[in-house]
Amino acid sequence: MDYDLLIKGGRVVDGSGLPGYQADVGVKDGRIAEIGRLQGTAARTIDAAGLVVAPGFIDHHTHLDAQLLWDPYGTSEPMHGVTSVVMGNCGLTLAPAKAADRDNIVKSFVRVEAIPRIALEVGVPWRWHTYEEYLDALDGQVGINVGGLVGHIAVRQYVMGEESVERTATPDEVARMQQLVREALEGGALGLSTNRNERHMREDGKPVASRLASDDELYALCDVLAELNCGVVETVVGLTKLEHLAWYDQLARRSGRPVLWQSVQHRWAAPNLWREQLDGIAPTFRDGYRAFGLASTVPLLRRWTMKNAQVFDEFPTWKTMMFLPELVRKQAFQDPETREKLRAEMNGMPKASFHRRWDLVQIVHVARPENEIYRGKSVAEMAAMRGQDPIDALLLLSVEEDLETIFASANTGGDPEVVGQILQSPYVLPGVSDAGAHVQFGVEFGYSTTFLGLWVREREIMPLEQAIHKLTFQVASIFGIEDRGLVRPGYAADFAIFDPNTVRALDAEWTQDYPADTRRLIQRSEGMHYTIVNGRVICEDGRLSGDLPGQVMRGSAYRARAAAAV
């Protein structure tokens, strides 16, 4: 047998950005063996006539750190052509961790990434201590390839314990954190992530640990990346304003490493900010340093109730309400004076995140039959029907329904003209799936299929070749993943094979596949025919194969250490 797998007659769009071409692709031992008009025999042949054969997509922004421990595919990633994922973003990782750190790490994941606590308690078998051991725990257990950043929150927790959420670090503590980052990079991490989002707190209301870090602490940790010449620096703040761009610029210059920041979005609350951000970061690139803004291809639609809403966290009284026991909270919402206070607070603060456009907040589910008339309406429409002010209407309807009413809103990504321009910028890295996070609020698994269907086919914002490049080789290059992201001989045989005329993401669906029967949202697609990892088909027309060919992707410091040991 010449090949293990032969992909016949497809149009190869190889990830480089060059024009696609008709060719067969032969795979042997998990690698691309040959490309061209191939005649050899194969254990399996796939007819790809009419389909595009692209490198598998690399989803660089996930929070699958926990989910991959019980779901080896990070479902629904393979349904969208994703063959590799990066986890450990936004400062959050499950390693390094001593036994005493575990619950504090869980506290951050539960609140920041909105993963149900019970799923983490039941689903995470803490078999590791170091970052390297955590990666080892995934080896041979995954259906997709996985790499990870080491999270500043875990590193700080490890060195400082509970004081990590209370104070700045001493020079000695910073030195110990540097050592942990060094060990993580040499253990395979693809970089470092940190979190300065002033809205990101633990389940107990305390700030996540990395928010207490000084600039000097973070710079010191980035110095380790510079020293090892390895890894990216990934950051998150609440809203990237112009002063943050100077900070990204500093991180990029000081470390010489690619910096990733969140995010470049169209925002109803600040409609011109995206242009100012892209203009503001251009000098960094012109000087030869890299600080890519992350951009989403889909509006960040969030589903929430007044049981669990985080959309109002920027307003202190609203946030306080959300931490009250539900009974007390309902009583508060029924009190006209409290509602007046909530209204005055929201209307009195400058617009930051929530847009206060009640016409853009939809009612997607009602609990009581008599309220069916409101389903599909906006809060503004519902308020008009009830003859109430929108905030009163939102809170009173929720109370009537025992806080079960489900609303949906998107603060970002609402203007397609602007999103199209953002996705075209060379300073932008598309794709913030956040897979594994906010599992009951929304899904963006389909960032890749939406990119190809909505933005490339329907709105024609760029050629297919360029979009594939952004989903594959661009990501691999930035993250130092050396053998993926291109269809070239010698590269890993990861493919997304799809119909460019039909590919698209479908609507989110509920499922109950998390540990302890927890509910969450998944997303399927159309037109994605085969997802292939290391030469083996893991997903065919939306059906998972059960095969686990995924590998752990370890960074260059690991490879350097391994080479030196030989």
Residue pair 142/87 in contact (Cβ under 8 Å)? The answer is no
State the CB neighbour count (10 A cutoff) for residue 348: 8
* Smaller CB separation from Zn ion, 24 or 65: 65
Q: Determine which residue in the list 23, 90, 95, 475 makes contact with Zn ion, applying CB under 5 A.
A: 90
- d(CA 443, CA 295) in angstroms, rounded, equals 15
* Smaller CB separation from Zn ion, 89 or 425: 89
What distances in angstroms separate CA 154 from CA 148, 184, 248, one per listed residue?
A: 13, 11, 22
* Residue number of the CB atom closest to Zn ion: 90
With binding defined as CB under 5 A, does residue 250 bind Zn ion?
A: no
- List helix spans (H) across 57-141: 102-112, 117-123, 131-138
**Of the candidates 539, 529, 537, which has an alpha carbon nearest to the alpha carbon of residue 50?**
529
- d(CA 149, CA 88) in angstroms, rounded, equals 5
CB of 139 to Zn ion, least distance (A): 24
CB of 416 to Zn ion, least distance (A): 24
CB of 63 to Zn ion, least distance (A): 6
Please name every residue paired with 27 in a beta bridge, in sequence order, or none if there are none: 5, 32
3-state secondary structure of 523: strand
* Smaller CB separation from Zn ion, 438 or 470: 438
* Smaller CB separation from Zn ion, 89 or 297: 89
Q: Token digits for 11?
A: 């149009």
* Smaller CB separation from Zn ion, 234 or 314: 234
With binding defined as CB under 5 A, does residue 89 bind Zn ion?
A: yes
Stretch that binds Zn ion, among 90-98, 244-252, 382-390, 448-456 (CB under 5 A): 90-98
Binding track over 48-87 against Zn ion, x by CB under 5 A: ----------------------------------------
Stretch that binds Zn ion, among 75-83, 89-97, 283-291, 310-318 (CB under 5 A): 89-97
CB of 88 to Zn ion, least distance (A): 10
Query: What DSSP element (H or E) covers 52?
Result: strand 52-55
* Smaller CB separation from Zn ion, 90 or 251: 90
Please compute, for residue 167, the number of CA atoms within 13 A of its CA located in the half-sphere on the CB side: 10
With binding defined as CB under 5 A, does residue 383 bind Zn ion?
A: no
Q: Which residue has the tokens 């290059």?
A: 477
CB of 294 to Zn ion, least distance (A): 9
Q: Which residues contact 177 (CB under 8 A, 6 or more apart)?
A: 155, 156, 159, 169, 217, 220, 221
Instruction: Give the phi and the psi of residue 41 in degrees, each rounded to 5.
Output: -85, 155
Question: In this structure, what is the dihedral angle of CA atoms 210, 256, 234, 99, given to the nearest 10 degrees?
Answer: -50
**Of the candidates 43, 489, 3, 19, which has an alpha carbon nearest to the alpha carbon of residue 11?**
19
* Smaller CB separation from Zn ion, 89 or 240: 89
What distances in angstroms separate CA 279 from CA 256, 268, 288, 427, 549, one per listed residue?
A: 21, 19, 15, 10, 43
CB of 109 to Zn ion, least distance (A): 11
- How many positions of this chain bind Zn ion (CB under 5 A)? 2
* Smaller CB separation from Zn ion, 89 or 164: 89
Stretch that binds Zn ion, among 88-96, 339-347, 522-530, 534-542 (CB under 5 A): 88-96
CB of 278 to Zn ion, least distance (A): 21
Q: Identify residues 424-443 at the interface with Zn ion (CB under 5 A).
A: none
CB of 178 to Zn ion, least distance (A): 24
* Smaller CB separation from Zn ion, 151 or 549: 151
Residues in contact with Zn ion by CB under 5 A are 89-90
